[in-house]
Chain A
């Protein structure tokens, strides 16, 4: 028996999560490749390279790492979505340029000097805040995910839709969001006792609006001004957006313009007719706010084919609107047996968590899956379980287990398992 056999953790070659931490394990060498030309002085080593610049950009060799696909409603260019290419990313932070987009009437070009946030309705003193004023408030920053509740909706299709991990699940991203706790601004305005909800409006051409219960606002909502250390990108709400950690993305209203405190939800178009879930019995659930516990393997995944048999890292992301990810399990035998994946050091509340497993692929057709459990005890459901109560037309809030099939050729495709 070799060392590597002692590290088998589940069926079909899935290895113990500590595999990569052990040096000198037989088979690990398959991961390493040596460049025969390493001693040669390449062109870029024969003269000084480019100078400094005011703003950086990715390597020209990475120009294919873009949001895709980009889709807009017929006759429009900014009423739709673009998706984070999850399969090309590692770690938990989404580069701002690759953060997914979901707009309802394009990206407004807002002059911050003319933009105001007005807080009104059931308050003692309606107040107006300029960007400069907000920037003087004590701020908080947290690294957290944002997920459109339409993410992964393609998994409701009767047959598996073929696409990359980003195309299927890329309406989730994570950033460091910095801004002013909205509770501080509401306390300044003085919420009246009958105020229970607020309705937030954006300054886009659709004046996108959502109702939010005040309990959430007082808990952890912020008016975000910063994303990953810089001011928000226009596509993420410049100069200010609502950010509601862990809740469906549509509620984190971008280009935030007004907040009206009200005694009941406004029943806007998006919260009633769009981001609601029709059940098989004809009843529709409104206000499913926290995003469910979920995970997906980003590598290997469609478009990232395996090559020769050997030891591979299985890597992916897990997240939950309920708080922290507690555990991620991986299976490489279609769900017959599971082994716990290792979690990267940063396991934060309402944030993406990176998980990793080691797999000795023997070259035979295999189905790989991941299953997340959060600190509330919720376990990511199977696709069948998600579908059991839902209408076939319901595609929001999908958090079922994703299965990828690895063919003997190494090609990876989307399957239902």
Chain B
């Protein structure tokens, strides 16, 4: 094969390769603000994405009793499913208990997860006020906040979880 012919093939391959990488049929459709609001569930540890509304543990106790107690037990303990409270100080013991109170690093995650996935059999039925209230209740039974402390989009990200400083990243950005 001549050098020129080889070069032509190589050059063509490079060209088609780069075209493929950049070519996009451009078939994405614009999204309206209403459509975005309906699907945007992301909540960040700094509170970005938290909705309006508020609640206290005192209010959340009733929500918990109605929707959570059957699976998660009294005050977040002793149920058939994941324990939500207790286990404080157990992480370095022979029997670590990873609960919301003993283990979870961010309080925003509690609201986020409950809003997405709970109650397990009928997710999505709790109002934002109920979500804040039951989040407050879970924090309260872990002795992290007071029973009448109002939890909302401003106060929730400010709650410091007990195990917050015991996490390190195993991934470096730009790795």
Interface size class on chain A is: 35 or more
Q: When the two chains form their complex, are residues B98 and A120 in contact, meaning their CB atoms are under 8 A apart?
A: no
Q: Which chain A residues (97-150) contact chain B, with CB distance < 8 Å?
A: 104-105, 118-121, 125-130, 133-134, 136-138
Residues of A within 8 A of B44 (CB): 262, 264, 266-267
A266 in complex: contacting residue of B30, B42, B80, CB < 8 Å? B42
Q: When the two chains form their complex, are residues B105 and A272 in contact, meaning their CB atoms are under 8 A apart?
A: yes
Contacting chain B: which of A41-49, A185-193, A363-371, A409-417? A185-193
Q: When the two chains form their complex, are residues A127 and B31 in contact, meaning their CB atoms are under 8 A apart?
A: yes
User: Does A337 interact with chain B (Cβ within 8 Å)?
Assistant: no
Contacting chain B: which of A160-168, A229-237, A284-292? A284-292
Q: Which chain A residues (285-319) contact chain B, with CB distance < 8 Å?
A: 285-289
Residues of B within 8 A of A73 (CB): 81
Give per-residue flags for B26-69: 1 if the beta carbon is below 8 A from chain A beta carbons, else 0: 11111100011001111111100000000000000000000000
Known A266-B44, A268-B112; judge A287-B169 contact (CB<8 A): yes
A278 in complex: contacting residue of B98, B112, B173, CB < 8 Å? B98
Residues of A within 8 A of B112 (CB): 209, 266, 268-269
Q: Please count the residue pairs between chain A and chain B whose beta carbons lie under 8 angstroms apart in the complex.
A: 176
Q: When the two chains form their complex, are residues A128 and B28 in contact, meaning their CB atoms are under 8 A apart?
A: yes
User: Does A205 interact with chain B (Cβ within 8 Å)?
Assistant: yes
Give per-residue flags for B94-110: 1 if the beta carbon is below 8 A from chain A beta carbons, else 0: 11101010011110110
Q: When the two chains form their complex, are residues A282 and B166 in contact, meaning their CB atoms are under 8 A apart?
A: yes
Known A126-B31, A272-B109; judge A286-B116 contact (CB<8 A): no
Main secondary structure of the interface of B (DSSP, over half): loop
Chain A nearest CB, measured from B146 CB (Å): 24
Binding site for B on A (CB under 8 A): 73-76, 79, 104-105, 118-121, 125-130, 133-134, 136-138, 184-185, 187-189, 196, 199, 201, 205-209, 213, 215, 257-258, 260, 262, 264, 266-269, 272-273, 276-278, 280-289, 391-393
Name the 6 nearest CB pairs between A and B, nearest first: A127-B28, A74-B80, A287-B171, A207-B116, A206-B117, A133-B27
Question: Could you write out 29 A-B pairs with CB less than 8 Å apart?
Answer: A73-B81, A74-B71, A74-B80, A75-B80, A118-B36, A127-B28, A128-B30, A128-B35, A129-B28, A130-B29, A133-B29, A134-B27, A136-B25, A137-B27, A205-B123, A207-B41, A207-B123, A209-B42, A260-B40, A264-B45, A269-B109, A269-B117, A273-B109, A276-B167, A278-B91, A280-B92, A282-B92, A284-B167, A284-B168
